[in-house]
Amino acid sequence: MECFEIGALWVMVTIICIHADTSEDGIQAECLGNRVQFILPGSLSAGSPLEVYAVNNTHTVLLSPHLAAQCGYTQKSDPWGNTIVSASLQSCFAESQGDKEFKVAMQFKLYEIPTLSEKVHEVFKSCSHAMISREILCETNFMEVSVRNALPEIKIEPVKEWPTVIPNLQLWKILLYTPGEKAFDKDALQAMGYSVYSSPTRLVMRSPFDMAETFIQNVDNVDMMVFKSVVLFRDRWVMTIVESAAACPINGASVVGQMIYWHVPLRITPLVSSEVEILEVHLGVNGRRFTPEEMGSRNHVMAITDSHIVVEIPIGAADGYYKSHVLNDQYHVSYNIEPMLELLWKEGLDKTSYKVLFPITTPLTPWPLQVIDYTQHKQKVFDVLLGYFLPDVELLNITFVSELLTVSEIINKGIVLHEHSFSNDTKAFTLQVPFSDPQVQIKNFRLDVTTYTLPLVFGFIIMPEHTAFARSIVLEASLADIVLPQAEGSCYEDYFNIYVKYGTTPSSQIKIKLGQMELNNKMLQQYQHHSNETHFDIIVPFLSPVVAFESVQLAGIMGRLDVEIYDSLNNWSIREFSLACPFFVKLSECFSNGTITVVLPKLESVPHLDPGELSLRDPACKPYDNEDYFAYFHFNVTSCGTTRKFVGDTMIYENEVTRKKDEPLSQTSENPEPEYRFMVSCVYIANATQSMSFDTVSHFKEPYADVGKGELTISLRLSKDMVYRLFYHDGDYPVLKFLKQPLYFEVGMNHSRDSRLAVALGNCWATLTEDKESKPRWDLIVDGCANPKDPEQTIIHPVVADERVDIPDHFKRFEVKTFTFTEDDESSKSENATLARRVFVHCDVVICHAKNTADGRCYKQCEAAQNLIGSSSSRVRRSTSFSEEALQHVSIGPILLM
């Protein structure tokens, strides 16, 4: 090969290389019978735009598809990028010497990207070919017939009288059969796109496929396109007729399973008139006849039946190739092969060679693409393979979420993108994108799982047609890589403490709600808090608006703090809990100067309460200060409707806080709010002042106890329980009891271990003052037995030994069920029945000798209570009276009965 630069005008450079017949690394040229084939290898063109020119000594003509078909050229490309140009040896620009030696020259002009400088490869090929009487060539884009023009040489004796004149026959008229007969002259036919050429020995007629003057004829179930003409040559009165016809199959191939069947009629009737003798049949592919060895090694089968030559080619045979297609946006493939059949037959003296090149494309079959996700979650890199494509597919670009990147841009960005080729002639693409790439979308569909999503659209083209198609895939990986925030809380004396430990969620994304209110900067200013990157804790005083008050109880207030930790980005709740704790607080206080203060919270159960609506008994006494959640009262014992009661030497002041409803209670409301009522009580004793709100009375004046005299002291005690285990002590008086509550009394000897002694009850009674002789007086035990006037009031319980009681005879026990102040009494009448009373209990007790059964005092038998009612009192045995000396008096009190 020899190359030289012929011009450098502006930026355009033209390099012309003249190739010899064949060249090692350049263009290959090969004579194939009546055809010549040039192959411009893909390596030489490298995808550059290409123009193909036909060349003779004087002209270089660009081969348009139209001109190629008219002039006997065929151009195609294969999946490997090779450009194949074949030409009939009798193509328009071929030079022929005596129809035996032919020279075909071509020029391939490449425009190199990106400079678009031209590179021209010129190549020629000389072929010898001995033409026979008739040669018919069925190419893929044209049909050609070449017939011997000259009369066969006949030896005859010259006639002397006639001058020996060789007629100069000129082409005169052409009749085309369509199938009707039409007459044309040569120039008209050439203008119509046909080719007519005659040399002294041959006539060549050529027609591209699908011309108007061709027709289709069915021959043994195969449709054939027929180009039939009669050419008239004449010289004055001498005329010669040359018949020429070409007939090429346009169908006959079928696919059954994985096999292609190609039927070619054995007797192509438009071309033969009588019986023919088939001399040779050859099969080949891509214009090249198989050698007998090749034929043997191929899986192609050729059979000759009565009517047809049947060629069987398995789909996928090595001589063909698969090709990519796009159908309905889906990737498809077809198998393509171009078998060639050559026939040689004899009809009379004339031989005909018939050559048909017949490209077969199988129907498109869908070719599922595979997406293989090699992503290893731990590595946090998406790794995907998309395949398997035929080699004619090229990846152009990939569309990520927000941008389209070409392959070179992707590689420049450092994203790993590879093309892999496999031995089975497929290829695949692999892509690796780290989870951290901005194109990866991060979502949390679950609290503790992060989902990484990468939607991709791969943009491909199929070469050489540049058919575009796209394939979208979505890569997704979920990682349980979230540590959820933890929150806890606890209650202290007068505040809640909430403690949050952030997990992996950014703290800016975590919001905290306290009692429906989102913790904002304003609230943070109000509460003591501490935070760092990982933790947050806050102190919420119990009396703050975010705390809900459930109830006010004797023990204190139940305060509840509702806490919600939530993710503000995804708007979901991470943790929700409530802390409910009692707070022991004095809601009311009584001062010695007569001032009473009350602070009352709004209760959750009365949600619509406006604390400003609250008042004391006197509706004019409103809170002196009220916030949304609290009402503060400040009043004195002489104001605001405070009532006073005297109970012995104590004064009880009472008031209550309620909501005064201006309008009558709406009866229609379905759930009337519970009433808001809060009792305030203050107990003032003597000079000292003590408050007695709801809780206990803590300090009173000295307890009253009249202690018995003598060596054997006897005491009267009040039990805290009904089993006589725990007792009130001297310091506990006055003991506060409810009126309906039973009272359990015990009389016992102290410090005596003398089992001969026993304690016996005489009388027991209650008074309103310390003075046992004072009136009124209520009898509880009369002469050792329950008061017969009111026998159900008092029950005498037996005493058995236990941990505390060694000698049961040393004790007596009785229960007073209820105090019913039924006696006529001025002071009791003057007071309201609901008023508390102070009572003192007194007993006359005697110590007797247990062994002395004669002393009936120790073993008093009482009648059963029920027998007493309505029965004769004569049966009651009155015991003898105790001597004054023997009697001991014990007293207890005061007991406050509310």
Ligand X SMILES: *[C@@H]1O[C@H](CO)[C@@H](O)[C@H](O)[C@H]1NC(C)=O
**Closest separation in Å from C-beta 673 to ligand X:** 26
* Closer residue to ligand X (CB): 133 or 509: 509
Cα separation, 427 vs 411, in Å, equals 18
**Closest separation in Å from C-beta 5 to ligand X:** 26
* Closer residue to ligand X (CB): 72 or 734: 72
Closest C-alpha to 700, from 681, 683, 716: 683
Cα separation, 451 vs 340, in Å, equals 58
Cα separation, 347 vs 345, in Å, equals 7
φ, ψ of residue 866 to 5 degrees: the values are -65, -30
**Closest separation in Å from C-beta 635 to ligand X:** 7
**Closest separation in Å from C-beta 687 to ligand X:** 4
SS (H, E, C) 823-872: CCCHHHHHCCCCCCEEEEEEEEEEEEECCCCCCCCCCCCCCCHHHHCCCC
Q: Is 70 helix (H, G, I), strand (E, B) or coil?
A: helix
* Closer residue to ligand X (CB): 57 or 698: 57
Contacts 24+ apart (CB under 8 A), 89-96: 89/34, 89/35, 89/36, 89/127, 89/129, 90/34, 90/144, 90/146, 90/197, 90/202, 90/204, 91/54, 92/54, 92/195, 92/197, 93/54, 93/55, 93/56, 93/59, 93/61, 94/56, 95/56, 95/57, 96/199
**Closest separation in Å from C-beta 67 to ligand X:** 10
Residue 292 is classified by DSSP as H
* Closer residue to ligand X (CB): 388 or 629: 388
Residue 704 is classified by DSSP as B
**Closest separation in Å from C-beta 374 to ligand X:** 13
**Closest separation in Å from C-beta 815 to ligand X:** 30
* Closer residue to ligand X (CB): 206 or 717: 206
- Strand boundaries in 236-348, DSSP class E: 238-249, 253-256, 259-265, 277-285, 288-289, 301-304, 308-314, 321-327, 330-337, 339-347
Cα separation, 348 vs 360, in Å, equals 34
Inter-residue contact 812 to 890 (CB < 8 Å):
no
* Closer residue to ligand X (CB): 571 or 698: 571
* Closer residue to ligand X (CB): 621 or 716: 621
State both tokens at 690: 């003590």
**Closest separation in Å from C-beta 832 to ligand X:** 4
**Closest separation in Å from C-beta 73 to ligand X:** 13
**Closest separation in Å from C-beta 383 to ligand X:** 16
* Closer residue to ligand X (CB): 170 or 421: 421
What are the angstrom distances between the C-alpha of 26 and each of 21, 104, 237, 305, 854? 10, 17, 55, 44, 153
Site residues (CB under 6 A) for ligand X?
A: 56-59, 92-93, 388, 396-397, 404, 406, 422, 424, 426, 459-461, 468-470, 530, 532-535, 537, 571, 591, 593-595, 636, 638-639, 687, 832
What are the angstrom distances between the C-alpha of 34 and each of 92, 126, 128, 137, 272? 14, 12, 9, 8, 21
* Closer residue to ligand X (CB): 57 or 274: 57
**Closest separation in Å from C-beta 537 to ligand X:** 6
* Closer residue to ligand X (CB): 58 or 853: 58
* Closer residue to ligand X (CB): 560 or 617: 617
* Closer residue to ligand X (CB): 326 or 799: 326
Q: Name the residue with the smallest CB distance to ligand X.
A: 459
- Quick one: how far is CA 95 from the chain centroid? 74
> Which residue type, as a one-letter code, is found at position 60?
T
What are the angstrom distances between the C-alpha of 201 and each of 97, 134, 710? 11, 12, 173
Q: Is 732 helix (H, G, I), strand (E, B) or coil?
A: helix
Q: How many CB atoms lie within 10 A of CB 885?
A: 7
* Closer residue to ligand X (CB): 835 or 876: 835
* Closer residue to ligand X (CB): 376 or 534: 534
State both tokens at 604: 């959750």
* Closer residue to ligand X (CB): 110 or 461: 461
* Closer residue to ligand X (CB): 537 or 613: 537
Helices vs strands, H then E, count in the chain? 8, 69
Inter-residue contact 483 to 490 (CB < 8 Å):
no
**Closest separation in Å from C-beta 698 to ligand X:** 18
Place of tokens 């007293």: 891
**Closest separation in Å from C-beta 711 to ligand X:** 36
SS (H, E, C) 24-64: CCCCEEEEECCEEEEEECHHHHCCCCEEEEEECCCCEEECC
**Closest separation in Å from C-beta 690 to ligand X:** 14
**Closest separation in Å from C-beta 126 to ligand X:** 15
Residues 6+ apart with CB under 8 A from 895: 718, 733, 734, 735, 737, 743, 838, 839, 840, 841
What are the angstrom distances between the C-alpha of 618 and each of 536, 613, 643? 48, 13, 11
**Closest separation in Å from C-beta 830 to ligand X:** 6
